[in-house]
Amino acid sequence: MVRNNRMSSGYWLILLLLCGNMPVNATIVTVKVTVMEEPCIINEGHPISVDFGDNVQVPNVDGHHYKRMINYSFICRDASRNGLKLTISGTGAGFDSTVLAADQDNLGIKFLNNGQSLSLNQSVNFFRDHPPMLEAVLVKNPSGTLHTGIFSASATMMVEYQ
């Protein structure tokens, strides 16, 4: 009996190999991709860090103290397009969806464009020779309690053509 099973398996293998060589209807699919514009490169592809320092005092986290400049650069090679838009996207804080959530409860980071509030996940239009002056400032949930300790937050900055 074992011998018959081995022989049957061999026949199936040969049958499958023969079927594999049978002609099959084929269709050629052509995909055309046109890159309309070269993407903008932010900060030469390196992360942007904002350091609030080691001496953040909980009572002073009020949306005014601990304001930091966001130093960044961008290159958009399409010289024919002067109009650009910038978006900072991320997860909104539970107490205010317009500010970036930090990994510590009741703490967020508010973004400013030229001194005015820049809501998270919303775009601002600008011209390449007048980029937004961006700042980040720590804010807290007015009805929550902040705890001391290290915190971090992460967002994505995009610069694209209008």
Burial grade of 46 (CB within 10 A; 0-12, 13-18, 19 or more): exposed
Type of residue at 105: D
Residue 20: pLDDT over 90:
no
Q: State the average pLDDT over residues 156-162.
A: 93
Q: What is the pLDDT of residue 106?
A: 97
Domain annotation for the chain: domains and CATH numbers: 41-161 (2.60.40.1090)
55-68 pLDDT per residue, tens: 999 999 999 999 99
Residue 31: which pLDDT band, with cuts at 50, 70 and 90?
A: confident
Q: State the average pLDDT over residues 26-45.
A: 77
Burial grade of 120 (CB within 10 A; 0-12, 13-18, 19 or more): buried
Q: State the average pLDDT over residues 96-111.
A: 97
Phi, psi of 128 (to 5 degrees): -55, -30
Please state the three-class secondary structure of 9-23 as a single string: HHHHHHHHHHHHCCC
Query: Is the CB of residue 42 less than 8 Å from the CB of residue 72?
Result: yes
Whole-prediction pTM: 0.75
Q: What is the pLDDT of residue 68?
A: 97
Residue 98: which pLDDT band, with cuts at 50, 70 and 90?
A: very high
Q: What is the pLDDT of residue 28?
A: 76
Phi, psi of 104 (to 5 degrees): -115, 130
Residue 11: which pLDDT band, with cuts at 50, 70 and 90?
A: very low
Helices first, then strands: H and E counts in the chain:
1, 11
Residue 24: pLDDT over 70:
no
Q: Which of 122, 14, 145, 81 shows the shortest CA–CA distance to 6?
A: 14
Residue 1: pLDDT over 80:
no
